[in-house]
Structure 1
Amino acid sequence: MLGIWDMPLDTYYGEACVCRLSHLKENRSSQNILVMFEWRHRASDQPLRRRRPACGDRRDSRWLAEEMRIKMFGPGVPGISWETNMNAPEPDNSPTHRAMTGNNIPIVYPLVNIESLTSDRVFL
């Protein structure tokens, strides 16, 4: 993972897709997330809407990071501390952290009031 000082400034702002996941039973954290895409990947929203929404497991995290090539990951409160599992042996601990930081994708959390956003797209 690059340090925050090594990343280009445009890494930290841009258009984001609001993923409303709090209604999903399989979403262990009952939280919403913001996923920021590169400007050229605006069409990437369509597969995100058609696919089973990301719930924070290893497969979903890799899909967001490696296939969707997101720019930034922003989970709502309480963040992703529930999935850390620091006592598990590597590489089974922290699948979301590993997928994001392993692909130089910053994680901004915990974000508050995502549920109050009225649009599916925001500028972060």
Structure 2
Amino acid sequence: MNRTSATTPPVPLQDLARHVIKTLGWDTTALDVLDLRWQIFVRFVLAAGPMPKLPAGINERTLAAFAAHCDINGAVGFEEAPVVLGAVRLVLFRAGFDAQAIAALRAPRRRQREGYKNGVLYKAVRPE
């Protein structure tokens, strides 16, 4: 699923966000935002079974299950789910994962009619 270079030294999964931030020279704000959300992903992978030691062990099924875990199963707040998934996508992309596989990592959404309120006709809700 990923296209990481053979010359790239392997980085443990739990340290991948910090490695990406350090490699790209991002500041501590990026560390505060990305690493916290990355660790949610690492805890999910750890709870799902034997944790892959390296990011290469992550596959598309893992990403799809994590998206459902964040949104449908309510592992994080409804408004937080897209932020968590976006942070995981960013870390994986910058670590060299295939962009098309990462693009599939999104929170399932359903729209429900709410009526006209402040010019808004619909609102996003969790799928049932």
Which structure is larger by alpha-carbon Rg, 1 or 2?
2
Instruction: Indicate whether the TM-score tops 0.5.
Output: no
TM class by shorter-chain length?
Answer: 0.3 to 0.5
Structure number with greater CO (CA < 8 Å, separation at least 6) is 1
Q: Give the TM-score, by structure 2 length.
A: 0.31
Q: Give the TM-score, by structure 1 length.
A: 0.32
